[in-house]
Structure 1
Amino acid sequence: MWPAVRMELRTLGRSGCAVSALCLGTMTFGAETDEPGAHEQLDVFVEAGGTLVDTADVYSAGLSEEIVGRWLAARPADVRDRVVLATKGRFPMGTEPNALGSSRRHLRRALDDSLRRLGVEHVDLYQLHAWDPLTPLEESLRFLDDAVSAGKVGYPGLSNFTGWQLQRAVDVAERDRLAVPVTLQPNYSLLVRGVEAEIVPACLFNGLGLLPWGPLAGGWLSGKYTRDQRPQGTTRLGEDPDRGMEAYDRVGGRERTWDVLEAVQDVAEARGVSMPQVALAWLRARPAVTSVILGARTTGQLRDNLGSADLVLSAEETARLDAVSDPAAPDYPYGELGVEQRSRTLSG
């Protein structure tokens, strides 16, 4: 039975397909999460009103897709019909030269193998997992268009593309009258906001929906770590916490990371919610975001993350989080001089 109050639904980019504003990511399936635990997560997600499930062929070398496929096969038709299924192809699935990339040869095999592992005849969203500098973009986009025409794919999407690569993909698809990508998966969180310089504006301009991955910054926004308490044990950052901080130190320095964590903690304590719920609510409300990808190791973590579904931050809370996490504009053309030269009003 579906919940009385359902999770917010949004369109998948500029398509007419409705998806939940929170997405279940499955990268942990078959690695950090065993099959019974993964199936439990899928059940909990759907019961909470979630619809969008995202996987990829390289997640646990195909095992993640197989786990999702066995879950789908064991569920009634109304559950299967509710799920909007997304997967990706591009990275190595073998040692031969053509077992990777975005060539027609590799993508054809990758898509067919994904459909087989998932036990379905089509997926709703098939995404190029990353840019391929060796394959002409026209070749990749033509394959995606053919897959849409063949009924194997509902919509094409992109992942880990830069702003110019995204724009080029849209321009080529429109020029050649091919299926235009409807989504982009970027790394995006309170600690990783570089996409706001070019990628978010490009998505807004072209009507692409963002599907942010890493919304809790690899665990740093989970509330486990403070200035005085270092990651320990078998947590994702426990083995080498300093290395885990390096990516965020490059944007604003170590102090910025701790300042962001403390601001998130303050908001969470004032609202009586968890830190992950605050971080996810902030990201869900960002421009162009269609659905935030949750990547939980345990069902308990997932349940807590799902608690952010109806959390709406106040203008004051959002402004504080915006300010403390501001990575500061890089040099020209993004800095003050660049903004000045790109600005124009009717008065001058």
Structure 2
Amino acid sequence: MSTRSCPAAVAARIVVLATKVKIRYAGSSTFAPSTIVQAQWTAERRQRERFVCEQPPYSLLVRGVEADVLPTCETYRMGVLAWSPPAGGRLSGRWHRDAADLSSHRTRTMPFRTTSAHYDLDIPGNQAKLDAATELAGIADDAGYSAAVLSDPKHRRRAVVR
């Protein structure tokens, strides 16, 4: 059974398995808000343990979850563990317009064409991310912080993100 065919049933099955092997808490990763709701309802209806956290991609460059995933997690009192808060290394402070070398271990070793496209600077969206990273590095430097510190989601106001 795939998560695409019946995500709530799969989520409930995972939680049951987690209970059997004595895992204390279970969470989901990159679930859509509707899937989070289905999983919560299924767990309640079947009187099973529920997912207690979600792990979405979340950074200053990837903030789409603020519109729907984070409010859904707040509603169900789920914690959020940000996945890739430095945006794949872009917000580490090393990536900026004036950098002599924009390659990294990550960009040299990415085996998948779709993954390496995340770093291809011929793609306009990646150029925009580089511009944003450059601007963040400047703001951080002016404030006396590193870009990595300013890009960390735990410094944002939303209480649900940890």
| TM bracket (short chain) | 0.7 to 0.9
Assess, with a 3 A threshold, how the Cα gap between structure 1 residues 258 and 142 changes in structure 2: closer, same or farther. Answer: closer
Paired position in structure 1 for 2:71: 201
Q: Could you tell me the percent identity over the aligned residues? A: 30
Paired position in structure 2 for 1:265: 137
Residue 226 (1) aligns with residue 101 (2): no
Please list the CA deviations of residues 2-23 of structure 1 after superposition, one character each: whole Å capped at 9, or x if unmatched.
xxxxxxxxxxxxxxxxxxxxxx
**Alignment partner of 1:138 out of 2, 6, 9:** 9
Amino acid at match of 1:133: R
Residue 153 (1) aligns with residue 23 (2): yes
**1:227 Cα offset (Å):** 1.8
| Residue pair 2:97, 2:130 contacting (<8 A) in 1 also | yes
**Alignment partner of 2:61 out of 191, 205, 210:** 191
Q: Which runs of 5+ in 2 are unaligned?
A: 111-115
The structure with higher relative contact order (CA 8 Å, sep 6+) is 2
Assess, with a 3 A threshold, how the Cα gap between structure 1 residues 151 and 137 changes in structure 2: closer, same or farther. Answer: same
Q: Which runs of 5+ in 1 are unaligned?
A: 1-102, 104-130, 291-348
Assess, with a 3 A threshold, how the Cα gap between structure 1 residues 186 and 143 changes in structure 2: closer, same or farther. Answer: closer
SS at match of 2:96: coil
SS at match of 2:51: coil
For 1:177 and 1:262, locate their aligned partners in 2 and report how far apart those are by CA, in whole Å.
Answer: 49
Paired position in structure 2 for 1:177: 47
For 1:181 and 1:239, locate their aligned partners in 2 and report how far apart those are by CA, in whole Å.
Answer: 33
Please list the CA deviations of residues 82-114 of structure 1 after superposition, one character each: whole Å capped at 9, or x if unmatched.
xxxxxxxxxxxxxxxxxxxxx6xxxxxxxxxxx
TM-score (normalizing by structure 2): 0.78
SS at match of 2:88: helix
Matches within 5 A, 1:248-259: 249-250=124-125, 254-255=127-128, 257-259=129-131
Matches within 5 A, 1:25-174: 132-134=3-5, 137-138=8-9, 140-145=11-16, 147-148=18-19, 150=20, 152-174=22-44
| Residue pair 2:8, 2:35 contacting (<8 A) in 1 also | no
For 1:162 and 1:147, locate their aligned partners in 2 and report how far apart those are by CA, in whole Å.
Answer: 21
| Residue pair 1:216, 1:279 contacting (<8 A) in 2 also | yes
For 2:90 and 2:18, locate their aligned partners in 1 and report how far apart those are by CA, in whole Å.
Answer: 39
Paired position in structure 2 for 1:244: 119
**1:225 Cα offset (Å):** 2.0
Amino acid at match of 2:15: L
**1 or 2, which has the higher strand percentage?**
1
**1:137 Cα offset (Å):** 2.9
| Residue pair 1:231, 1:238 contacting (<8 A) in 2 also | no
Rg larger in 1 or in 2? Answer: 1
